[in-house]
Every structure is written in structure tokens, then in C-alpha cells.
């Protein structure tokens, strides 16, 4: 009898933690919501994910304890932030009878099926994608491709998740997005940009204040310029694929992020902390993760296209370029750095030059994960504002200077600025970190001559507004604080 009671207790504990369940009885939910990504005038991708529970695990739950050991000697390796740990064996520990699915803030995946229902806002009939199977091998993720969309239209969307075909009551989440205008359509456009969001630096219990602030602007699209998560920082350093997925799930299960992404088109760019580790490049390895595996996981979690650098039009007046800043770069440890090292790679730079020249948009906007103009700190060497990439940086600025209405918008730096390159007059806007707690890096109180604006110690985001006029169009760029207040603006 005592043995039977212990078995019942173990089953209750396991069910409470979401570790096991009777076959066919497990519920399915969408704790991480869905994302509308890669939108064009006629197509869109809908990223969906099936989870065990309706919300993230409590934030005060247990945290995994991660240990690393040298492969050759078995000696323990001290884990530090902003480091890679090659040639190590990784061990992850949780309290007895618990798995990673029970970790604090997590939102573990489940098996099930998802489909998408969509229609132009107000239309009578819905279109539907087929049900697709979601498995644990892809973290419960399914991406649905929508096609034959109406350009410049607002779409209503419902994502449904179910256990299987016998489940008559699917979990549902609703949202909306806008398809892009055609290149000859002159319409108002609003977009938002942010960077550098760290789970240990949240500024409200339900996530980040910038997300409802951005949502209040009802942007046509949104760009995350990288460092969407920080694998190499905080108490749980992600050195295995499972820990990497844990970082993504706990971040995007936060209500402010979940609510924003189901109501706005998103474009994601990858940088270093959300691929592997600080300043990583294609040759980096850390724990069980190679750079290639980090890129694969980023694509899994954001539906990033195979070719990360891409350009798109949003109507008559705006064309955007999303530059890839990691895949092509010369490793930091390359000896002598001769010939001159590359950051964007010759193929991508050639593509940039050709597509800029071919564009007929009124305004060209370059999004980059690291600065092109700066200025930056003298102890850094990871971007075009630094001495290590000076040769190629000069070439890039001279290329961009051919287009007077072109603007560069950068992520990565943890302070806001607007700078003008003294040699070429190229303008660059730094969007700043997502929260004040994550701000830092620039200690000078007096701006450099390049600065038209400088704001340190605070978080925020950037917005842009294209407005048709009697003679063409205008573009206003604005830097905001975390609550959405404008702290600086310029109009072109």
C-alpha cells in the first residue's frame, strides 16, 4: 500500500511539473504566442509554437546549474560571462525528478498540431492553412507560409493549436498584421527598431516597457537588430541546444513580447549573443554549440530566411536593407590581418552596391547589427567604427555616401546617438538598449564632434515615419525612451 502511495505521489509531482502525462491527455497551449515574419506585398510567414502550458513557469522556480569540464583532462572550467568555452564537456543539473521543462521562466514545448486562419480585416470568409504536425525535435515550432495576399492590407489572423485530429477544442490566439504596399504605392509608413534585450534586465514584471510603447505607434513593421537573447550572460549560460531553446522560450513567453509580436510584422537580424557568445564568428565553438548550430537555432526560433542579408520595399518611398554582420567576418584571432579583414564580406558588399544603385525608393535605410559610423570605444574591435576594420569601413561609408537620403540605423551599442561621419556625411542612428538597466559602455559626458545627439545611461527604441507630401514624401526619425516619449527627432 505504501509503495502504491509513493507511486501516486510521484505521478502527481510529475504532472504538476509537466514532465509526463497519460497518453493523449496532455493539453496543448501557445505560451510563446506566434510571430508574423518575412512579410512582403503578397506573402507572409507565421511562426507558431506548441507548449505544455498556457503561460511561462513561475519566475521564482528552480534554475538549471550548468557545469563545464575540459574534454582532455576532465578538470572543471569556471564559467564567466561574455566568453566562449571550446573543448568542454557540459553537465546540466536540476533538482531531483525535474527536467529543464520546469526551470524558472521556461515555456517547454509539446507535440501537437497548428494551423493559421486569416482574412483581410472585415471580410466575410476566412482562408486556412493545413494542419501541420509540431514535434519536440523542432521545439514544437511550425512555420506556415501565407500567399496570394492583398498588398497594403490589414489582415486578421487566428492561430489554432490542438493535440491531434480528435481534439475538438483547439487553443486559439488572435492578432493582426499589414502586408507591404507595392513599390508604386505611395502610402504612410511607420516602423520601429530595437536591440539588446536581456532577461535579467527586464524593467517590468511582464517583460519590457518598450513593447507596449512601440505597439502604441501601430507600426507597419518592426526590426530587431540582434541580441534578442543573451546565451553567454546571466546565471544560466547556454552551452547546449536545450539551454539555448530555454533562453528563447522564457524571453518570448513574456506577456509584453508575446502581445506585441502577434500584432505586428517582424524582421529579425542575428548578432553575437543570440548565436553563440560575445564577438563570435564562424569558427567559434562554445560547449556543445558550434557557430553553425547557433545559426540553425536562430533560424528555428525566428524563421530567419536562409540568406540573412536581404532587402525589401515598403511602398514607393522606402527601401530597407538588413545586413548580415557575423557570417562573413574575419576571425578576431586571424594573424596579421592581411589582407585587410572583412566584416560584411566581399559578396555581400557587392550585392549591397548593386541593389542600392538599382533602387528607385525615395529613402534608403540600412539596418546593421554593429556600427558603421560610430564613434565607438578604443578598446573595441568588432565594427566599422574600430581601427581593426578601418580599411573596409572607409570603403563602406564612401559607398553609402553616394545616396544623400540614405540613413544607417545600428543596434548593438548600449547608448543612443545620432552621428555624422566627418569625411562622408553619412548619418547613423543608434537605437540604444531595451532598458536602462542594460545601458552602459559610453562613459564620456561630453559628446564627440561627430555627435548630433548623445544619450547615455538609458534605454529606448527608434521609430521612423514616412509621410507622403504634395511634392513627394518626408521621413522623420525619432529616438524614444522606454515609455515612448520622443527624446530626439530629425526630418529628411
Q: Is the peptide bond before 375 cis (omega within 30 degrees of 0)?
A: yes
**What's the rounded Cα separation, in Å, for the pair 292 and 286?**
11
Q: Is the peptide bond before 390 cis (omega within 30 degrees of 0)?
A: no
Tell me what the mean pLDDT of segment 162-184 comes to: 96
Tell me what the mean pLDDT of segment 365-379 comes to: 95
pLDDT digit string (tens) for 330-371? Answer: 876 555 666 789 999 999 999 999 999 999 999 999 999 999
**What local confidence, expressed as pLDDT, does residue 9 receive?**
35
- CA-CA-CA-CA torsion for 68, 69, 71, 72, nearest 10 degrees? 160
Q: Give the mean pLDDT of the chain.
A: 93
User: Which of the four pLDDT bands, split at 50, 70 and 90, describes residue 318?
Assistant: very high
User: Which of the four pLDDT bands, split at 50, 70 and 90, describes residue 379?
Assistant: confident
pLDDT digit string (tens) for 26-48? Answer: 789 999 999 999 999 999 999 99
Question: Cell numbers at residue 448, please?
Answer: 564627440
**What local confidence, expressed as pLDDT, does residue 177 receive?**
98
Residue 338 contacts residue 330 (beta carbons within 8 Å): no
| Residue from 93, 80, 146, 92 nearest 119 by CA | 146
The stretches of 224-305 forming alpha helices (DSSP H) are 241-252, 255-261, 291-302
Question: Cell numbers at residue 430, please?
Answer: 543608434
Lowest average pLDDT, out of 150-154, 253-257, 386-390, goes to 386-390
Question: Cell numbers at residue 152, please?
Answer: 497594403
**What local confidence, expressed as pLDDT, does residue 334 receive?**
57
- CA-CA-CA-CA torsion for 195, 230, 387, 345, nearest 10 degrees? -80
Q: Give the up-direction half-sphere exposure of residue 65: CA atoms within 13 A in the CB hemisphere.
A: 6
Question: Cell numbers at residue 344, please?
Answer: 560584411
Domains by residue range for the chain, with CATH: 28-52+107-177 (2.60.40.10), 65-102 (no CATH), 181-226+308-491 (3.60.21.70)
User: Which of the four pLDDT bands, split at 50, 70 and 90, describes residue 191?
Assistant: very high
Q: What percent of the chain shows pLDDT beyond 90?
A: 88
Cα angle 403, 399, 446; round to 5:
85
Q: Which residues contact 156 (CB under 8 A, 6 or more apart)?
A: 118, 119, 120, 121, 174, 175, 176
**What local confidence, expressed as pLDDT, does residue 337 receive?**
65
Question: Using CA of residue 471, residue 475, residue 476, residue 482, what is the dihedral sign?
Answer: positive
Question: Cell numbers at residue 466, please?
Answer: 514616412
**What local confidence, expressed as pLDDT, does residue 184 receive?**
96
How many of the other CB atoms lie within 10 Å of CB of 382? 24
User: Which of the four pLDDT bands, split at 50, 70 and 90, describes residue 22?
Assistant: very low
Residue 348 contacts residue 309 (beta carbons within 8 Å): yes
**Residue showing cell 509537466:** 18
**What local confidence, expressed as pLDDT, does residue 24 receive?**
41
**What local confidence, expressed as pLDDT, does residue 411 receive?**
97
pLDDT digit string (tens) for 457-482? Answer: 999 999 999 999 999 999 999 999 99
H or E stretch covering 210? helix 210-215
**What local confidence, expressed as pLDDT, does residue 23 receive?**
38
Tell me what the mean pLDDT of segment 417-421 comes to: 98
**What local confidence, expressed as pLDDT, does residue 16 receive?**
37
Residue 415 contacts residue 456 (beta carbons within 8 Å): yes
**What's the rounded Cα separation, in Å, for the pair 250 and 57?**
8
Q: Which parts of 121-208 are beta strand (E)?
A: 127-128, 132-134, 141-146, 154-162, 171-178, 189-194
| Residue from 419, 416, 420, 409 nearest 441 by CA | 416
Residue 227 contacts residue 272 (beta carbons within 8 Å): yes
Residue 203 has pLDDT above 90, yes or no: yes
Residue 97 has pLDDT above 70, yes or no: yes
**What's the rounded Cα separation, in Å, for the pair 266 and 360?**
24
Amino acid at each position: 500500500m505504501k509503495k502504491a502511495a509513493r507511486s501516486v505521489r510521484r505521478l502527481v509531482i510529475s504532472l504538476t511539473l509537466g514532465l509526463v502525462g497519460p497518453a493523449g491527455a496532455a493539453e496543448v497551449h501557445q505560451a510563446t504566442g506566434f510571430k508574423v515574419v518575412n512579410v512582403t506585398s503578397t506573402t507572409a510567414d507565421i511562426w507558431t509554437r506548441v507548449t505544455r502550458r498556457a503561460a511561462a513557469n513561475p519566475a521564482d522556480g528552480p534554475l538549471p546549474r550548468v557545469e563545464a569540464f575540459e574534454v582532455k583532462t576532465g578538470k572543471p572550467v569556471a564559467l564567466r560571462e561574455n566568453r566562449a568555452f571550446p573543448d568542454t564537456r557540459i553537465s546540466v543539473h536540476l533538482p531531483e525528478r525535474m527536467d529543464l521543462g520546469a526551470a524558472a521562466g521556461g515555456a517547454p514545448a509539446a507535440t501537437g498540431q497548428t494551423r493559421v486562419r486569416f482574412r483581410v480585416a472585415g471580410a466575410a470568409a476566412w482562408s486556412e492553412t493545413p494542419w501541420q504536425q509540431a514535434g519536440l525535435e523542432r521545439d514544437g515550432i511550425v512555420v506556415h507560409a501565407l500567399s496570394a495576399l492583398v498588398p497594403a492590407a490589414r489582415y486578421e489572423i487566428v492561430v489554432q493549436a490542438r493535440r491531434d485530429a480528435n481534439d475538438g477544442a483547439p487553443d486559439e490566439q488572435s492578432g493582426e498584421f499589414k502586408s507591404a504596399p507595392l513599390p508604386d504605392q505611395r502610402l504612410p509608413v511607420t516602423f520601429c527598431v530595437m536591440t539588446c534585450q536581456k532577461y535579467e534586465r527586464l524593467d517590468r514584471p511582464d517583460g519590457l516597457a518598450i513593447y507596449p510603447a512601440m505597439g502604441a505607434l501601430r507600426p507597419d513593421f518592426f526590426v530587431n537588430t540582434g541580441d534578442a537573447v543573451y546565451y553567454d550572460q546571466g546565471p544560466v549560460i547556454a552551452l547546449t541546444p536545450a539551454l539555448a531553446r530555454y533562453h528563447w522560450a522564457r524571453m518570448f513567453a513574456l506577456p509584453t513580447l508575446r502581445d506585441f509580436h502577434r500584432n505586428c510584422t517582424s524582421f529579425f537580424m542575428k548578432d553575437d549573443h543570440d548565436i553563440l557568445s560575445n564577438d563570435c564568428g564562424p569558427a567559434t565553438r562554445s560547449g556543445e554549440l558550434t557557430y553553425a548550430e547557433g545559426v540553425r537555432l536562430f533560424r528555428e526560433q525566428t524563421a530567419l530566411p536562409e540568406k540573412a542579408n536581404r532587402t525589401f520595399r515598403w511602398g514607393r518611398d522606402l527601401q530597407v536593407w538588413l545586413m548580415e554582420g557575423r557570417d562573413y567576418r574575419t576571425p578576431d584571432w586571424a594573424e596579421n590581418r592581411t589582407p585587410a579583414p572583412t566584416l560584411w564580406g566581399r559578396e555581400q558588399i557587392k550585392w549591397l552596391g548593386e541593389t542600392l544603385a538599382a533602387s528607385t525608393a525615395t529613402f534608403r535605410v540600412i539596418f546593421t547589427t554593429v556600427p558603421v559610423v560610430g564613434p565607438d570605444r578604443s578598446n573595441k574591435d568588432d565594427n566599422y567604427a574600430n581601427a581593426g576594420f578601418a580599411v573596409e569601413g572607409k570603403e563602406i561609408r564612401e559607398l553609402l555616401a553616394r545616396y544623400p537620403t540614405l540613413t544607417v540605423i545600428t543596434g548593438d551599442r548600449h547608448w543612443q546617438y545620432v552621428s555624422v561621419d566627418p569625411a562622408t556625411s553619412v548619418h547613423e542612428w543608434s537605437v540604444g538598449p531595451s532598458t536602462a538597466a542594460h545601458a552602459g559602455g559610453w562613459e564620456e559626458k561630453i559628446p564627440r564632434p561627430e555627435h548630433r545627439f548623445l544619450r547615455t545611461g538609458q534605454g529606448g527604441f527608434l521609430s521612423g515615419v514616412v509621410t507622403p507630401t504634395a511634392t513627394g514624401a518626408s521621413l522623420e526619425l525619432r529616438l524614444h525612451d522606454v515609455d515612448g516619449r520622443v527624446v530626439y527627432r530629425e526630418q529628411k
